[in-house]
Amino acid sequence: MEYLLIKWIHIISSTLLFGTGLGSAFYKYLADRSRQVSHIAIVNRHVVFADWLFTTPTIIIQPLTGLLLVYMAGYSLTSLWLLLSLLLYFIAGLCWLPVVVLQIRMRDLAEQAVEKNTALPEQYYRYARQWFYLGVPAFLAMIGIFFLMVFKTI
């Protein structure tokens, strides 16, 4: 494959990864603040779906295209900027895995509350706080990766 095509795929994939995460966090945060259970249930359903549709494939595409670009451009796999990028990617991934579980649990709790016409249980809000606090280091890691991806230096 041509270098520029792979680079384009890598950039589009990183944009989808970052944009889906930021967009999901924004809409979920606003929905949770509304305290409208039916709205929260719908948004949680969409957040889980967006993760499977966009985030999961990009999590696979990013390291594949990134390492291919490194190889094609002749960068060393031991370059500090690359090693730090991989570390940050690993940190973001460690945050993302429990976030997926929390999103599914929150979706299920919200849908149960809608079905029973009840308020959300306190457990939902505990999960939401955990979800938010896991998102902060993941977001910061992604910002760091973007910096390193563009400047290839630290």
Q: Which two tokens stand for residue 54?
A: 């966009």
**Confidence at 8, pLDDT banded by 50, 70, 90:** very high
Say yes or no to pLDDT of 154 above 80: no
Given its phi and psi angles, is residue 129 left (phi above 0), alpha (psi -120 to 50 degrees) or beta?
alpha
Separation between Cα atoms, residue 93 and residue 96, nearest integer Å: 5
CA 133 to CA 151: how far, in whole Å? 28
DSSP annotation of 115: H
Residue 11, pLDDT score: 96
Predicted TM-score (pTM) of the model is 0.91
pLDDT digits (tens, 9 = 90+) for 102-134: 999 999 999 999 999 999 999 999 999 999 999
Q: In the chain, what are the domain boundaries?
A: 3-151
pLDDT category of residue 153 using cuts at 50, 70 and 90: confident
DSSP collapsed to 3 states, 12-78: HHHHHHHHHHHHHHHHHHHHHHHCCHHHHHHHHHHHHHHHHHHHHHHHHHHHHHHHHHHHHHCCCCC
- In the structure, what pLDDT confidence band is assigned to residue 1 with cuts at 50, 70 and 90? confident
Question: What integer best gives the mean pLDDT of the chain?
Answer: 96
Q: What is the mean pLDDT of residues 65-77?
A: 95
Task: Please say if the pLDDT value at position 94 is more than 90.
Answer: yes
| d(C-alpha 72, C-alpha 93), whole Å | 25
Residue with tokens 């939902």: 124
Among 57, 58, 66, which Cα is nearest to 7's?
66
